[in-house]
Amino acid sequence: MQNDAVLTMRGIDKQFPGTKALNKVDFTLRKGEIHALMGENGAGKSTLIKVLTGVHEKDGGSIWVEGVEGEAHIHSPQEAQNLGIATVYQEITLCPNLTVAENMFIGRTEGQMVHWKDFEKRTTEILNNLGIPARAKQELSSCSLAVQQMVAIARAVDMNCKVLILDEPTSSLDDKEVEMLFSLMRDLKSRGVGIIFVTHFLEQVYEVSDRITVLRNGELVGEYAIEDLPQVELVAKMMGKDLNDLADLEQIGEKRSAATEVVYEAEQISSSESKPFDFKIHKGEVNGFTGLLGSGRSESVRAIFGADRVTGGKVKMKGKDTKISKPHDAMKAGIGYLPEDRKRDGIIADLSVRENIILALQVMKGFFHPMTKAQMEAFADEYIKTLNIKTASQDTPVGSLSGGNQQKVILARWLLTHPDYLILDEPTRGIDVGTKLEIQKLVLKLATEENMSITFISSEIEEMLRTCSRLIVMRDRNIVGELTGDQLTQAQVMKTIAGGEQ
């Protein structure tokens, strides 16, 4: 054991029903280092973290924490917190019906008298310092997913910790927030805090990390100093493939821009959450909505699907007047919608992978027309294969899958309905690099080969530039520009977002 280590894990084993999630994994975190934990979806990153923080009990292995005599036995997140380990979990674990201030301080008061007034003041300070657009007294559920993520980070950072764990903290953040988080991380690092950082964004890894540990299929691949492991090699280590196999992944399909028949057309459509806007999409077209956090991009597509209360507007589907006031109307009209917040709006956690995959199709077939078990199994099998979903079986509850694999299940659900118009809000959130490219390829293939119209939203602008032939730019809940053709460059997008000339 090195003496500058704050945390040492040796030979960690964890078995879930049907899955060996961790197999003799070693991990060392040193003082004042940012240590990236990398691996494909389902590699075991979150499990390693949950074992460390006492969410799951380990089946074998030992953990040492600086300042604790002998082996540390951590049985609950509260104990981990008391040992100076602060954690932001992959799925937000705050309480949606408490206020921001309550969420910041709950479980940290250690039996003292509780002075909520002081906490609110302190919260307001933190929110202002970090530039988080929320109020201390606001109920957390009324904040966007990104703000919730920022609050979770602020809460962890505000604790006096020696180990900070961030499991995909940037998955719904914009460049600006990510930059802010990074400067926060560097600051903590200079104070000697060890940071574990999990992400699927390779550039982010190389921007802040000092060291990388790679996991694959629950096994340790190795630990590397950042300068010894170029990006291509990292990807190869994560996927366990040779570099040559990867070459063709970079080639994704051709974008199609030829305007054809209009599939969906909306005039002054509005919902309780979005201002009126006009929008149309052509057959086989891939377009995108972009804009900063809170710009209203997600709210706009929710209005199209009838996810929020629709308050006005005229909609035409393939030229025919259509009334869409609730999700079921949209589904019948041939629209599919993969929501941004998979935990709240997407997965039915206790139901099996199979039931989650067939759900939307089954609903479209109708209450009185259940599919046979054999049909369901065939569909589920097909998509588990196509999207390479890592699950012990079809009967596994979807909630026990890794984050990225849950995302794939919801994607499968909507692909299975073969909609004419598919809305994907952050379909690649939490998905590993290899699969991300596969999904982008799939989107372009659906558009060109099946003539599907697709709206693709992503907080990664490069990803949208690669797939979309038209970008709608939003600011303050208004559409402020539309970019096509050779306007589709990062610089132009940034300029339009910032409010330059159109």
Partner 1 sequence: MAAKKSSFLKKSGLGQLLIPITALVILLLFNLIRDPSFFSIKVAVNNSGNSVLSGNLITIIDNASALAVIAMGMTLVTAACGGQDISVGAVGAIAGSFFVKILKSWETVTAGSMILAIVVCILTAVAFMMFNGTLVAVFKIQPMIATLILFSCGRSIAYWITGSATPQLSGPIIQAMGMTIPGIPIPTPIFAVILVGIVLALIFRLTNLRLYTQSVGVNQGAARLNGINPTAIKLLSFVLLGMCVAVAAMIGVCRMAQLSHKTLLVDIEMDAILAVAIGGNNLGGGRFRIAGSIMGAYIIQMLTTTLYAMNVATVNVKAYKAIVIIIIVVAGSPVIKNWITSMTNKIRAGKMNTSAAKGVE
Q: Is residue 169 within the footprint of ligand ATP (CB under 6 A)?
A: no
Q: What is the DSSP letter of 162?
A: S
The footprint of ligand ATP on residues 425-444 (CB under 6 A) is 430
Q: Is 16 in the site for ligand ATP (CB under 6 A)?
A: yes
Q: Is 46 in the site for Mg ion (CB under 5 A)?
A: yes
- Least distance to ligand ATP from the beta carbon of 273, Å? 29
Binding-site string for partner 1 from residue 43 to residue 82, where x marks contact by CB under 8 A and - marks none: --------------x-xx----------------------
Range 370-399, binding ligand ATP (CB under 6 A): 390
Segment lying near partner 1 (by CB under 8 A), choices 25-33, 86-94, 271-279, 323-331: 323-331
Q: How far is the CB of 90 from Mg ion (least distance, A)?
A: 5
The Cα–Cα gap between 354 and 369 comes to: 17
Phi, psi of 409 (to 5 degrees): -65, -40
Q: Which is nearer to ligand ATP, 195 or 198 (CB)?
A: 198
Interatomic CA distance for residues 145 and 459, integer angstroms: 12
Assess 149 for contact with ligand ATP (CB under 6 A). no
Q: Does the footprint of partner 1 cover residue 17 (CB under 8 A)?
A: yes
Contact status: 368 vs partner 1 (CB under 8 A): yes
Kindly tell me which of 20 and 255 has the beta carbon lying closer to partner 1. Answer: 20
Query: Which residues contact residue 336 at a Cβ distance below 8 angstroms, ignoring those fewer than 6 apart?
Result: 360, 414, 417, 419, 421, 422, 423
Backbone angles phi, psi at 140, to 5 degrees: -60, -35
Segment 410-469, which members bind partner 1 (CB under 8 A)? 413
Return the bridge partners of 38, or none: 214
Residues 77-106: x where in contact with Mg ion by CB under 5 A, - otherwise, as a string: -------------x----------------
Closest CA to 156 of 192, 120, 193: 193
SS3 318: coil
Instruction: Determine, following the binding rule CB under 5 A, whether residue 406 of this chain makes contact with Mg ion.
Output: no
Strands (E), 211-309: 211-216, 219-225, 262-271, 274-282, 286-291
Minimum gap (Å) between residue 84 Cβ and partner 1: 26
At 29, list the tokens.
Answer: 């975190």
Contact by Cβ (8 Å): 205, 217: no
Residue (of 343, 348, 326) closest to 335 by Cα position: 326
Element (H, E) at 270: strand 262-271
- Look up tokens 């197999």; give the residue: 23
Q: Per-residue DSSP letters for 80-96?
A: HHHTTEEEE-SS--S-T
Q: Provide, rounded to whole angstroms, the least separation between the CB of residue 403 and ligand ATP.
A: 4
Under the criterion CB under 8 A, does residue 347 sit at the interface with partner 1?
yes
Residues that bind ligand ATP (CB under 6 A): 16, 19, 21, 39, 41-47, 90, 390, 400-405, 430
Using CB under 8 A as the criterion, which residues of the chain lie in contact with partner 1 when the complex forms? 13, 15, 17-18, 57, 59-60, 305, 307, 326-328, 331, 337, 339, 344-351, 355, 359-360, 362-364, 366-370, 395, 413
